[in-house]
Amino acid sequence: MTVLVTGGAGFIGSALVRALVGDGERVVTIDKLTYAGNLDNLAAVLACAKHTFIRADICDRMAIAAALREYRPRIVYHLAAESHVDRTIDTPSACIETNIVGTAVLLETALDYWRSLDAAGRDEFRFLQVSTDEVYGELGAEGQFTPESRYRPSSPY
Ligand SMILES: NC(=O)c1ccc[n+]([C@@H]2O[C@H](COP(=O)([O-])OP(=O)(O)OC[C@H]3O[C@@H](n4cnc5c(N)ncnc54)[C@H](O)[C@@H]3O)[C@@H](O)[C@H]2O)c1
């Protein structure tokens, strides 16, 4: 089956796409190619038969739903974001559109897609939201965060 990566032309997303394709996964990358996205980051996999690139905005419900319907991923890794904190202050609407509206569109279309799966497909499906360690605040004496760590934001996040 297939893995779908949003924001796959960005810094972390492109590294993930390259690693997944290297592991033999069939990967579909969705990216709007904003100032932060660069197809050069995907040069190693663009011509690969196991990789498909779709230029789309995650706010575009029809485009996202069509990609889910066509490629039927078992995992969605969501990395598309306005990730630069200074820009979220200078141009907040783009941040709200992508980080909030776009994420909601992705979650809703993924839920619709999940409902269309059979029982085994529902069990297997995962939606992985890539966020930031900032939601946990400062790294404590234990030196790592775990799923049990409490949210303790120390910044305006
Ligand atoms: N880079 C870091 O050090 C770091 C640290 C912690 C968390 N994160 C988080 O990881 C995720 C990815 O970070 P990154 O550094 O790779 O970001 P990035 O800015 O390098 O890449 C973001 C990608 O998303 C795409 N994109 C933006 N808006 C889009 C939209 N509306 N529709 C489709 N694609 C869109 C861009 O074109 C770009 O390719 C973000 O959520 C970020 O907050 C990053």
Task: Kindly state if the Cβ of 130 falls inside 6 Å of ligand 1.
Answer: yes
- Domain membership flag for residue 11: yes
Split into its structural domains, the chain has a count of 1
- Domain membership flag for residue 143: no
Tens digits of per-residue pLDDT, 22-78? 999 999 999 999 999 999 999 999 999 999 999 999 999 999 999 999 999 999 999
* Nearest CA, atom 15, ligand 1: 11
Instruction: Spell out the alpha helix ranges (H) of 4-153.
Output: 11-22, 61-71, 85-90, 92-95, 103-115, 119-124
Tens digits of per-residue pLDDT, 67-125? 999 999 999 999 999 998 888 888 899 999 999 999 999 999 999 999 999 999 999 99
- Domain membership flag for residue 149: no
- Domain membership flag for residue 156: no
- Domain membership flag for residue 144: no
pLDDT of residue 154: 64
CA 34 – CA 29 distance, rounded (Å):
14
Under 8 Å between Cβ of 5 and 77: yes
108 is catalytic: no
- Check whether 157 has a pLDDT greater than 60: no
SS3 146: coil
CATH code for position 67: 3.40.50.720
What are the b/e assignments for 69-90, b being 16+ CB within 10 Å?
eebbbebbbbbbbbbeeeebee
- Domain membership flag for residue 78: yes
Mutate to test the pocket of ligand 1, among 11, 42, 91, 95 (most ligand atoms within 8 A of CB): 11
40 is catalytic: no
60 is catalytic: no
Residue 64's domain comprises 2-136
Report the predicted TM-score, pTM, of the whole model to 2 decimal places: 0.92
